[in-house]
Amino acid sequence: MSLNALEDTDSLVDAARAAVCRIFGESYDPQRWGDWHWQTRHRLTRLAHFEALLDLTPSERRGLELAPGKFAVSVTPHFAALMDPHDPDCPIRRQVVPRQDELVVGAGDMVDPCGEDRHSPLPGLVHRYPDRVLLLALDTCASYCRYCTRSRLVAQGHLEPLTRRLDRIVAYLEEHTEVRDVLLSGGDPLLMSEDRLEGVLSRLRAIPHLEFLRIGSRVPCFLPQRITPELVALLRRHRVWLSLHFSHPKELTPEAAEACDRLADGGIPLGSQTVLLRGVNDDAATLKALFHGLLKLRVRPYYLYQCDPVVGTSHLRTSLARGLEIVSQLRGHTTGYAVPTYVVDAPGGGGKIPIQPETIVAHEGGVWTLANWEGKRFTYTDPAYDV
């Protein structure tokens, strides 16, 4: 890229950020923009905010009018500056700006599609798999995805603060010695202060049979300014793995890259979970660019999720057939590290089920006929003593 092109790109970025700052009657200040506390205080949450930034469609306007009674709207300035103000089909905009389509209840839509509530022995603790639990640390996020699996809980104000629940959760985990893996999610645990997060992780690390602590977060995408050296040191100290969430190559900004570099340099293992979304990333070229970009940041694409059938998300969901088609256009056409496992989190609480194009054509007498990524057939013969 030429120097002039780089300067033009920088100018466009600055102009987009200045437009967001004007919503709040402020001028763009790079130092202030880089402060994660400023970012959280200046999130776009109201119709007036979006009117000042975007050419809203009637569907978006209606969605924003209805959102307060349904599912909260919140977009960080960092993420808002990535939206195309003139294109309602902008893949960034589609993820966070509500539409009237959210009123449509499609066939198979569910309030709790993953069946978490019925596997919750305690408020904010889900024990669905034998050896691992999900701990909902809080019910707020930096920005709210319109396809949120936990929209029944997130931003609803029903979940008690973790400080009031932690003693009971720790007691449960101490009693259930079969649990070796805890995933902290929510909400987004990385919105907690270092002191609060330190307290939670220390309590968990003190339980002898817990081997594996993970945090699910979209902060490096929505609020990369939050990834400070102090936070990285805390995560390293408690040997935490991070499961990140990126949906589109446009999200791989220099700030997100810096955040991921800081985490990787700090020894934090990084994986990414991507939700397959209609009009956002439902084509092989977009996903390949995203997954290649993630690998450059030392983030391993881990899961490609079929979008959960949350009430009001039909307009954002693809068919399984479309997902299988996309996966078939990835596998064999790029490095295996860039091809995540395509899964459905089975509605009703069945857990994650891998979905893949058929590779086993036939099996008889210890001889397997297999189809590769080109559709060509090959045979594999079991060892004689195992037939």
308 neighbors 271 (Cβ within 8 angstroms): no
**Residues 133, 338 contacting (CB under 8 angstroms):** no
Catalytic residue among 112, 308, 317, 342: 308
According to the model, what pLDDT value does residue 374 have?
A: 82
Report pLDDT for 357: 80
Contacts of residue 387, Cβ cutoff 8 Å, sequence gap at least 6? 365, 366
CA atoms within 13 A on the CB side of 333: 14
Q: In what order do the strands lie in the sheet with 132-136?
A: 125-129, 132-136, 181-185, 212-217, 240-244, 270-276, 300-306, 341-346, 351-354
CA angle 264, 265, 267 (to 5 degrees): 65
Spatial distance between the Cα atoms of 376 and 282, rounded to a whole number of angstroms: 26
Active site residue 214: no
How confident is the model at residue 296, as a pLDDT? 98
Active site residue 145: yes
Cα–Cα dist 323/342, whole Å = 8
Q: Is 298 left (phi over 0), alpha (psi -120 to 50) or beta?
A: left
In the chain the domains, ranked by start, together with CATH numbers, are 3-97 (no CATH), 117-354 (3.20.20.70), 357-387 (no CATH)
The catalytically annotated residue of 55, 129, 237, 377 is 129
Q: Is 205 a catalytic residue?
A: no
- Look at the chain and count its residues: 387
Options 145, 221, 260, 307, the catalytic residue: 145
Catalytic residue flag (residue 377): no
Beta strands in the chain (DSSP E): 125-129, 132-136, 181-185, 212-217, 240-244, 270-276, 300-306, 341-346, 351-354, 360-364, 367-371, 377-381
Q: Which of 79, 109, 87 is nearest to 317 (CA)?
A: 109
User: What sign does the dihedral 353-356-362-368 (CA atoms) show?
Assistant: negative
Contacts of 13 (CB under 8 A, 6+ apart): 81
Q: pLDDT tens digits for the chain (387 residues)?
A: 554 544 567 888 999 999 999 999 999 999 999 999 999 999 999 999 999 999 999 999 999 999 988 889 999 999 999 999 999 999 999 999 999 999 988 888 889 988 899 999 999 999 999 999 999 999 999 999 999 999 988 888 888 999 999 999 999 999 999 999 999 998 999 999 999 999 999 999 999 999 999 999 999 999 999 999 999 999 999 999 999 999 999 999 999 999 999 999 999 999 999 999 999 999 999 999 999 999 999 999 999 999 999 999 999 999 999 999 999 999 989 999 999 999 999 888 888 899 888 888 888 888 889 888 888 898 888 887 554
Q: Tokens 């102090």 label which residue? A: 230
Catalytic residue among 141, 221, 260, 307: 141
User: Distance between CA atoms of 130 and 375, rounded to whole angstroms?
Assistant: 37
Closest CA to 42 of 73, 67, 21, 15: 21
Tell me, yes or no, if 278 is annotated catalytic. Answer: no
Is 288 annotated in the active site?
Answer: no
Residue type, 183: L
Q: Is 184:220 a contact under the CB 8 Å cutoff?
A: no
Element spanning 257, H or E: helix 254-265
State yes or no: is 148 an active-site residue.
yes
Specify the pLDDT at position 5.
Answer: 47
Instruction: State the maximum Cα–Cα separation within the chain, in Å, rounded to a whole number.
Output: 77
Cα 15 from Cα 21, distance rounded (Å): 10
CA distance 188 to 353: 24
Q: Measuring CA to CA, which residue among 54, 94, 88 is closest to residue 313?
A: 94
Cα separations in angstroms, 227 against 45, 194, 264, 273, 316: 23, 11, 11, 18, 29
